Each structure stands twice: as C-alpha cells, then as structure tokens.
Chain A
Amino acid sequence: MTDAVIVVALLLVAASATVAVATRDPERQALVLSVLGVVLAVLFTVLQAPDVGLSQLAVGSAVTPLLLLLTVRKVRRRPRRKEPPP
C-alpha cells in the first residue's frame, strides 16, 4: 500500500513536470509550476521527508509564482524596441 501511493505521487510529479515544460506561455507555466510544487510536496511526504515537503510548499505555493508573474508584468509593460517583421 505504501508502495502504491509512492508510485502515484511519482507519476503525478513526472506528468506535471512534463506539462510545465510543454506550457510555453510564462503566465500559464507559473500556474503549472505551482501545481508541480504541491505535487512535489506530497511526494516528499510519502518519501518520509516532511521537512523537505514543508520547504517546497513554503517556496512553491506563493513565492515562486509571485516572482514569475511580477517578472512577466514588468517585461510585458516594457515597449518593444524592435518591431517584429510584418
């Protein structure tokens, strides 16, 4: 039974990592990365590492998405110097 839950958590982590890379828009990627953080925390808990799980939750649930979205906002607001070719 403990093996089953480890396999479920591992597969969820692998799937969400793949999705995070495949999502090319940074705003949507921030959403997937926050899900990846939660799933990683669950994996760490089932691998009997609650300390690392806490660490991952603290960082991954709010701080990293906030940093990413603030960067997106700053970069988007900046006018493009080079016009894309028509």
Chain B
Amino acid sequence: MNRRLRLWLVGVGGAGLAALLVAACLDLPRFGGDRHPYGDRAVRASLSRHTANTISSVNFDQRAFDTLGEMSILFAAVLGCVVLLRQTRDEHRDRPEPAEVARPVRGYALLVLPVALLTGLYVIAHGQLSPGGGFQGGVVAATALHLLYLGADYRALERVRPIGVFEVGDALSAAAYLVTGLAAVLAGTAFLTNTLLPYGTFNTLSSGGTVPLLNAAIGMEVACAVVVLLARFLDQAVEIEQDKGEGEVRAP
C-alpha cells in the first residue's frame, strides 16, 4: 500500500470516527452534573470501612480483584521486557567509561536521594489516608534510586542495586497480594474480601482493614518492577554492544 493511499484511508476513517465520537459526546451526561450513583455508593462503602481515601478503598477493597488484573499486566509487561532485552550471544558487555559530573549536580543528587526515597515511602504508607498509594509511591521510590546514575555514574548505581533481589522482590510482592486475597477465602469469605482485620480508627495509619497490606504489596511490586525495567534499558543503552560482524562498523 503506498503512502498516499494510506493517508487517504486515515483521513476518511479519522473523519468518520471523529463524527461518531462528537455525536457520542453530545449525548453524554453534562460535564459537572450532579448524578453519580456509583460514586456516592463507593464513598458510603469506604466510610463504613473507615478508609479515609476513597480512591484507595475502591482500588484495594471494593475493586481489589480488578487491581489484581492490573498487577498481572504490570508483571507480564516487566517479564516481557526482561525477555526481550536480555543479552544475546552475538553481544558483549563493555565497561562504561566513568562519567564526570559537576560538583553541584553530584551534591544535589546525593542530597535529594534520601529525601525522594523517604517521600516515596511516605506516599505509599499514607495511601489509605491522603492522596497517594502504592502505585504512585512505588514509582517515586524507584526513581529516587536512579538519582545515583544521574549524580554519579552507572557503575555506582550497579553497586547498590543487586538486580536479582529486585526481581525476587517483584515476584514476592505479587505473591503477597494473592496470599492476602486467599487468606480471606480461608477465613470463610470470598477472595480478596476486606473482612480479615479490624477496620481500626478512622484517619489513622492502621485503619481500613487489609487496605494497607494490599497497598504495601502493590507499592513494593511497582518499585521493584520499575527498577528492573530501567535496569534492562540502562544495560542495553550503556553497557551492551553488538560484536563486530557482517562488515558493520561498531560505533566507538
């Protein structure tokens, strides 16, 4: 199919899709309307289980099964990356030359690293109270670790980041989520029901029953997953070189 024909097809299809979508938009409930039956019920359910952050309650209690699905996608995506970006037989590792970083940048990175790590843990730990939770805090904590690459160089990051530990941590936290769900089955209710632990006092760290546990499991899973992902990409971009062959010239 040549380029012009394809553009023409995209134009016709896009115009049709645009017309349908706009027609659908005009029929949607008006923006800012007052009718949110599901939302109102979710808020009531969350308050009855002493979870201050309704969104966390929806994620880790009312729709915890859905989050299990999301977590599986995440796990599968990371697994796919690890398989796709492994070192093949015609490649070898080059030691990266140490990068030189200006002193203020290095100082900033080393100063902010603990602050960012702490913020990540804070966001995870307060997931059932204030905005935040495992998904967000996990990414913040994982990003914090990579300040070492930005402030020093890749070898410094490799020294403090045993990648095997993070791969095991990823699997363990996924298992922890499942085990928490199965514990509810053993206790005589349905999978992932929030009936295992007392609901606690509203707006304290230990409130919400199993919500903090599932939240922590997701936080660890996401943090490990992002570290493993970035490690694979950094390996490919910084260390792994293709062997010379087929008359190709390797970039210096």
Contact = CB atoms under 8 A, between A and B. Distances in A.
A79 B250 CA distance: 7
B233 A71 contact: yes
A78 B242 contact: yes
Interface string A25-64: 0000000000000000000000000110111001100110
Contacts of B179: none
Nearest to A3: B32
Contacts of B123: 54
Given A58-B136, A74-B237, A79 B251 contact: yes
A66 interface: yes
Interface string B114-141: 0000000001000000011101110110
A79 B142 CA distance: 32
Looking at chain A's contact residues, the main secondary structure is helix
Interface residues of A, number: 19
Interface of B is mostly: helix
Interface in B192-249: 226, 229-230, 233-234, 236-237, 242, 246, 248-249
Contact of A62 (B135, B143, B234, B251): B143
Contacts of A73: 237
Contact of A51 (B133, B230, B234, B237): B133
B252 to A, nearest CB: 10
Contact of B230 (A66, A74, A81): A66
A1 B143 CA distance: 36
7 contacts: A50-B131, A51-B55, A53-B131, A54-B132, A58-B143, A70-B233, A70-B234
